[in-house]
Amino acid sequence: MLTAGVLLGLSASVLWIAQASYLTELSVIYATFKAEPVISSMGYFNGIFFAIHNASGITGNLISSLVLDLFQCRMLILLPMFLFGGVMRGFTMGEFTSNFIRESLGSASIGYIMTVFGTVNVLGSYGFGKLTDRCVTILFV
């Protein structure tokens, strides 16, 4: 499993670099054809790509909802948590980065701030997982 994870990580990094190069080439060709600045077409193509990429969250959740029986009592109890998670992710990746980080610290800081965010998420998940093993949990139904 570890070997598969390493191979997947190495392969994914090459694919993300290829995606960025491909979108840059498309942006240059499109900007030349439309006689527009290249920077505006880069945002356009990146927006289209990541809209399709993030739409996989919608289609994946719809498919999993059809496969899993949503009308079981346990799934209905978890539904607000799923909705909150999706809204929080959309806010964090969209509004928080563009309206808070970019406006206060500049575009160059977005990557650093989101790296800290991801690191704290990972460490917090691990820490709270260990904490819940030691605490008594009570299920409210």
11, 38: one domain: yes
pLDDT of residue 140: 56
Residues 77 and 131 in one domain: yes
**pLDDT value of position 69:** 64
Q: Shortest CA distance to 38 belongs to which of 54, 23, 50, 27?
A: 27
Number of domains in the chain: 2
Asked if residue 75 and residue 44 are part of one domain, the reply reads no
> Residue 137 belongs to what domain range?
71-141
Task: Give me the pLDDT at residue 139, please.
Answer: 57
Q: Are 10 and 57 members of one domain?
A: yes
Cα distance between residue 66 and residue 63, in whole Å: 5
pLDDT level of residue 2 (50, 70, 90 thresholds): low
* Distance of alpha carbon 121 from alpha carbon 124, whole angstroms: 5
Average pLDDT over every residue of 85-90: 81
Helix or strand run (H / E) with residue 14: helix 2-34
pLDDT in tens, 27-75: 889 989 988 888 778 888 888 888 888 888 788 777 777 666 666 777 7
Same domain? 32 vs 58: yes
Q: What's the gap between Cα 103 and its chain centre?
A: 21
In this structure, are residues 36 and 47 in contact, taking their beta carbons and an 8 Å threshold?
no
pTM over 0.85: no
